[in-house]
Chains A and B, each alone.
Chain A
Amino acid sequence: MTEEIIIAGFGGQGVLSMGKILAYSGIMQNQEVSWMPSYGPEMRGGTANVTVILSDSRISSPYLNEFDTAIILNQQSMDKFEKSVKVGGTLIYDPNGITKHPTRTDITIYTIPATDEASRRGNARIFNMIVLGGFLKLKPVVEIENVMKGLEKSLPKRHHGMLPENREAILLGMEIIVKK
Chain B
Amino acid sequence: MGELRLMKGNEAIAEAAVRAGCDGYFGYPITPQSEVLEYLMSVKPYETTGMVVLQAESEVSAINMCYGGAGCGKMVMTSSSSPGISLKMEGISYMAGAELPLLILNVVRGGPGLGTIQPSQCDYFQATKGGGHGDYRLYVLAPASVQEMADFAKLGFEMAYKYRTPVMILSDGIIGQMMEKVDLFDPIPRRTNEEIIKTCPWATTGKTANRERNIITSLDLDSAKQEKHVFDLDAKYKRMQAEDTRFERIMCDDAEYLLVAYGSSARICQKTVDVARAEGIKLGLLRPITLFPFPTDEISKLAGQVKGMLSVEMSLGQMVEDVRLAVNGKIPVEHYGRTGGMIHTPAEVLAALKSIIIGG
Interface residues of A (CB under 8 A from B): 20, 23-24, 27, 32-37, 39-41, 59-66, 153-154
Tell me which residues across on chain A come within 8 A of B180, comparing CB atoms: 33-35, 59, 62
A39-B31, A153-B6 known; A65+B347 contact, CB < 8 A: yes
A61-B268, A63-B268, A64-B345 known; A33+B174 contact, CB < 8 A: no
A34-B178, A61-B271, A63-B174 known; A20+B6 contact, CB < 8 A: yes
**New A-B pairs, 13, CB < 8 Å, besides A61-B272, A62-B178, A65-B345:** A23-B6, A23-B179, A24-B6, A33-B179, A34-B178, A60-B270, A61-B268, A62-B174, A62-B264, A63-B264, A64-B346, A66-B347, A153-B6
Tell me which residues across on chain A come within 8 A of B333, comparing CB atoms: none
Tell me which residues across on chain A come within 8 A of B181, comparing CB atoms: 27, 32-33
A-B residue pairs in contact (CB < 8 Å), sample of 15: A24-B6, A33-B181, A34-B178, A35-B178, A35-B180, A36-B177, A39-B173, A39-B177, A60-B268, A60-B271, A60-B273, A61-B272, A62-B267, A64-B346, A66-B347
**B interface size (C-beta, 8 A):** 28
Return A74 CB to nearest CB of chain B, in Å.
21
Return B145 CB to nearest CB of chain A, in Å.
9
CB of B346 within 8 A of CB of A20, answer no
Tell me which residues across on chain B come within 8 A of A37, comparing CB atoms: 177-178
Tell me which residues across on chain B come within 8 A of A65, comparing CB atoms: 345-348
Return B344 CB to nearest CB of chain A, in Å.
9
Rounded to whole angstroms, the CA-CA distance of A48 and B280 in the bound complex is 37
Rounded to whole angstroms, the CA-CA distance of A20 and B180 in the bound complex is 10
Interface residues of B (CB under 8 A from A): 4, 6, 31-32, 117-118, 173-174, 177-181, 264, 267-274, 341, 343, 345-348
Rounded to whole angstroms, the CA-CA distance of A153 and B177 in the bound complex is 19
A20-B6, A39-B31, A40-B117 known; A61+B177 contact, CB < 8 A: no
Residue of A nearest to B349 (CB): A61
Tell me which residues across on chain A come within 8 A of B117, comparing CB atoms: 39-41
A39-B32, A61-B270 known; A27+B4 contact, CB < 8 A: yes
CB of B6 within 8 A of CB of A33, answer yes
CB of B343 within 8 A of CB of A27, answer no
Rounded to whole angstroms, the CA-CA distance of A59 and B174 in the bound complex is 14
Rounded to whole angstroms, the CA-CA distance of A39 and B177 in the bound complex is 8
Tell me which residues across on chain B come within 8 A of A153, comparing CB atoms: 6
CB of A61 within 8 A of CB of B178, answer no
Rounded to whole angstroms, the CA-CA distance of A66 and B272 in the bound complex is 13
Tell me which residues across on chain A come within 8 A of B178, comparing CB atoms: 34-37, 62
Residue of A nearest to B175 (CB): A62
CB of B345 within 8 A of CB of A63, answer yes
Tell me which residues across on chain A come within 8 A of B174, comparing CB atoms: 36, 62-63
Residue of A nearest to B31 (CB): A39
Rounded to whole angstroms, the CA-CA distance of A66 and B348 in the bound complex is 12
Tell me which residues across on chain A come within 8 A of B173, comparing CB atoms: 39
